[in-house]
């Protein structure tokens, strides 16, 4: 079976500090990977997605970046955090490739980031 | 521009009530519609709907899709306090990226 891990679970960082959030998936190969941010009580905003190693697509302009150094590893980074970067960050995976009926994304436990 | 709109945004009911959550969409190349339940942390998958008029059911939860009128409903009967959560609707387009377009979510509170 497949599992998805995210760490850390919570993070408090000062404005201007760097950020690195990690996500790993087990039990599958060549998954599609996604980073979302969720403001309190709201829907999910897609930040980045990746269909393969080194392939990153950005959905919104921001001071965040993403990388996929290995097939099942997805990293969200920032060089200098802003107050507006606070939120709940979720990583998700789905089956990769041209499949029908496999639109379901499976989410990790999330990281709650507070920028002070 | 593709969009998914959920209503109501929030809802307070008492245990035993029946609730209906709505999700309408305007998306090109529609492929499927998904419902998720989010409590404290990760959204958990409830249903995926691809065909009109076919009800999906799991216990007290059920959902149906209308591809002509471009909406879906999620019904919860005999609500319990454990049903309190954010319910998210998302739509997938025909592509190989697997991207989902999410609605704003409906926050449901079930009071004892």
pLDDT at B99: 85
pLDDT at A59: 85
Q: Residue A51: pLDDT above 70?
A: yes
pLDDT at B82: 96
Kindly give the pairing relationship between strand A10-13 and strand A111-115: parallel
State the best of A44, A92, A100, A108 to mutate against chain B, taking most chain B CBs within 10 Å: A44
Q: How does residue A100 score in pLDDT terms, banded at 50, 70 and 90? A: low
Residues of chain B found within 8 Å of residue A100, distances taken between Cβ atoms: 31
- Domain total in chain B: 1
Give percent of chain B with pLDDT exceeding 90.
81
Q: Any idea what the CATH number is for the domain that residue B74 is in?
A: 2.60.40.10
User: How confident is the model over A75-89, as pLDDT tens digits?
Assistant: 999 999 999 999 999
Positive or negative: CA dihedral A105, A55, B41, B89: negative
DSSP state of B94: S
The H-or-E segment that residue A73 falls in is strand A73-78
Cβ–Cβ contact B49 with A under 8 A: no
CB contact under 8 A, A101 and B48: yes
- Domain total in chain A: 1
Cβ–Cβ contact B31 with A under 8 A: yes
Q: Any idea what the CATH number is for the domain that residue A74 is in?
A: 2.60.40.10
């Amino acid at each position: 079976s497949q599992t998805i891990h995210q760490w850390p679970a919570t993070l408090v960082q000062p404005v201007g500090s760097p950020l690195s959030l990690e996500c790993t998936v087990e039990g599958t190969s060549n998954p599609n990977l996604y980073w979302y941010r969720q403001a309190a009580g709201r829907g999910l905003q897609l930040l980045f997605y990746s269909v393969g190693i080194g392939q990153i697509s950005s959905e919104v302009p921001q001071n965040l970046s993403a990388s996929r150094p290995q097939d099942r590893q997805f990293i969200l980074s920032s060089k200098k955090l802003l107050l507006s970067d606070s939120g709940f960050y979720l990583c998700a995976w789905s089956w990769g490739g041209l499949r029908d009926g496999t639109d379901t994304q499976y989410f990790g436990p999330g990281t709650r980031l507070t920028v002070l | 521009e593709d969009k998914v709109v959920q209503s109501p945004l929030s809802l307070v009911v008492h245990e035993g009530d029946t609730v209906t959550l709505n999700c309408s969409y305007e998306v090109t190349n529609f492929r499927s519609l998904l419902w998720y339940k989010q409590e404290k942390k990760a959204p958990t998958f409830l249903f995926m709907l691809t065909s009109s008029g076919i009800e999906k059911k799991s216990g007290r939860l059920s959902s149906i899709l209308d591809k002509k009128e471009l909406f879906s409903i999620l019904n919860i009967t005999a609500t319990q306090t454990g049903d309190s959560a954010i319910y998210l609707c998302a739509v997938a387009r025909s592509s190989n990226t697997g991207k989902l377009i999410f609605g704003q979510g409906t926050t449901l509170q079930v009071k004892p």
